[in-house]
């Protein structure tokens, strides 16, 4: 009898265990299936850009030939669907040289050619984990690309073939209508020169190891007005003399002019007054042994009529601090977008920079093509030096929202009588570009 009872008890225990195991298996399946679904619902991205860049530079004397760079940049990415609010993104990037490498990529030793900062190589461009589980909030951690405002102080340098990305924690809050608050803690910047560059010079090192706190608060009181306040605190591990704290305010927008009732080109925005104004103060920070306070200022005004925008602007990057050795710098910016397209002022000269510039551009009627003309006149802030001037022209056309073709030319003429080492603005230079891009 006892044996029979024991047998029944064992059978019941086994059945209970089986039921518990089955329930656990179902729980695991319930967790795995949404995870599998999130992977299956992921999205592939592909971005391929061919570019031909030619550079003609007359100084220094060591430059004997024009640079001709043909490169293809390929980015392949994968973004998962959401799993309990979490998602992941990974992106590989390859830059390949087409034909001969007839240019100085900053470390290949071909100094008889001018610099084209597009070295070949393959690397992980982005790889991060994100969370969207709290409405109006975005969290990301890992290697990622982002920018603030117009890229003047923090940008992803999308113009170069190797994108600038940030190893960082990024948080964005959009819980209040029209307000976007962003914070990023950056511990490494993966710059456009790639992982293989051996240079330890600040200007073209491959990585900025740092402790950076980037704060940006943006308010859009209406669809055509943006007000921004920011603080960018950069503490460089290996370049303490470049550590800075920058605090600034920015306003930009437009004032529509509906009463003019002017005809507008198809696809172009209506008539409006255009404006932008910005002020920032930059000082030494963290372990920087220097002592300086430098101003940044921008005033830009213009008008858009018949779909064509006309702008005039003045930009100041103060210099002359610390006995004429220090100027305001923006090392994390998308620098190609500022102070001319020939990139003569990637680093602000010690005497500072005053850039007076004019632009005019808009769509080409009937061709779905955009055009832009730009002219810059450069002077020093400290002293009364004329650096020279530059003009440029840009044409671009996008097909079916996936395919883009572009042409661009810029010519910089220096007022310097001779080349000065470390001062690229003392050389005449012209650059031309042709590119074709496919984004899927």
Helix H, strand E, coil C: the string for 321-365 is: HHHHCECCCCCCCCHHHCCCCCCCCCCCCCCCEEEEEEEEEEEEC
**Residue 273 token pair:** 């007054």
Per-position pLDDT tens, the chain of length 440: 434 444 334 444 333 443 444 444 444 455 556 767 766 678 999 999 999 999 999 999 999 999 999 999 999 999 999 999 999 999 999 999 999 999 999 999 999 999 999 999 999 999 999 999 999 999 999 999 999 999 999 999 999 999 999 999 999 999 999 999 999 999 999 999 988 887 678 888 999 999 999 999 999 999 999 999 999 999 999 999 999 999 999 999 999 998 777 776 766 788 999 999 999 999 999 999 999 999 999 999 999 998 899 999 999 999 999 999 999 999 999 999 999 999 999 999 999 999 999 999 998 877 879 999 999 999 999 988 999 999 999 999 998 889 999 999 999 999 998 888 888 899 999 999 999 999 99
State residue 18's pLDDT score. 36
Distance between CA atoms of residues 411 and 337, nearest Å: 15
**CB-count burial class (<10 Å; 0-12, 13-18, 19+) for 74:** middle
Distance between CA atoms of residues 52 and 104, nearest Å: 14
Tens-place pLDDT, residues 212-248: 999 999 999 999 999 999 999 999 999 999 999 999 9
**Residue 72 token pair:** 């293809």
Report pTM.
0.90
**CATH code of the domain occupying 41-439:** 2.40.160.10
Tens-place pLDDT, residues 168-202: 999 999 999 999 999 999 999 999 998 888 767 88
């Amino acid at each position: 009898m006892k044996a029979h009872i024991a047998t029944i008890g064992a059978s019941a225990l086994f059945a209970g265990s089986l039921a518990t195991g089955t329930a656990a298996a179902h729980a695991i399946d319930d967790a795995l299936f949404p995870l599998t679904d999130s992977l299956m619902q992921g999205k592939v991205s592909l971005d391929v850009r061919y570019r031909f860049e030619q550079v003609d530079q007359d100084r220094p004397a060591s430059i004997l030939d024009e640079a001709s760079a043909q490169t293809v940049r390929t980015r392949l990415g994968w973004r998962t669907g959401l799993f309990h609010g979490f998602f992941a993104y990974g992106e590989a990037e390859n830059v390949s040289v087409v034909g001969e490498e007839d240019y100085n990529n900053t470390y290949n030793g071909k100094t008889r050619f001018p610099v084209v900062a597009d070295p070949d190589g393959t690397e992980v461009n982005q790889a991060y984990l994100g969370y969207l589980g709290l409405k109006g909030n975005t969290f990301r951690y890992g290697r990622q690309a982002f920018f603030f405002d117009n890229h003047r102080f923090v940008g992803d340098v999308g113009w170069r073939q190797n994108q600038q990305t940030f190893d960082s924690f990024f948080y964005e809050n959009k819980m209040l209508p029209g307000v976007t608050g962003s914070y990023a803690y950056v511990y490494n910047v993966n710059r456009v020169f790639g992982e293989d560059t051996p240079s330890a010079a600040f200007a073209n090192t491959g990585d900025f190891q740092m402790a950076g706190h980037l704060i940006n608060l943006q308010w859009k009181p209406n669809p055509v007005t943006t007000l921004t306040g920011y603080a960018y605190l950069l503490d460089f591990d290996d370049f303490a003399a470049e550590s800075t704290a920058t605090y600034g305010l920015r306003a930009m927008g437009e004032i529509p002019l509906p009463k003019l009732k002017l005809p507008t080109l198809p696809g172009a925005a209506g008539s409006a007054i255009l404006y932008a104004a910005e002020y920032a103060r930059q000082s030494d920070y963290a372990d920087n042994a220097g002592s300086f306070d430098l101003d940044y200022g921008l005033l830009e005004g213009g008008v858009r009529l018949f779909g064509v925008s006309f702008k005039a602007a003045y930009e100041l990057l103060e210099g002359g601090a610390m006995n004429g050795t220090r100027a305001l710098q923006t090392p994390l910016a998308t620098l190609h977008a500022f102070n001319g397209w020939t990139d003569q002022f990637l680093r602000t000269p010690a005497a500072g920079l005053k850039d007076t510039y004019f632009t005019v551009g808009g769509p080409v009627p009937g061709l779905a093509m955009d055009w832009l003309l730009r002219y810059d006149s450069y002077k020093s802030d400290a002293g009364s030096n004329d650096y020279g001037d530059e003009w440029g022209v840009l044409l671009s056309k996008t097909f079916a929202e996936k395919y883009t073709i572009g042409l661009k030319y810029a010519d910089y003429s220096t007022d310097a009588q001779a080349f000065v080492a470390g001062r690229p603005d003392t050389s005449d230079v012209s650059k031309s570009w042709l590119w074709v891009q496919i984004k899927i």
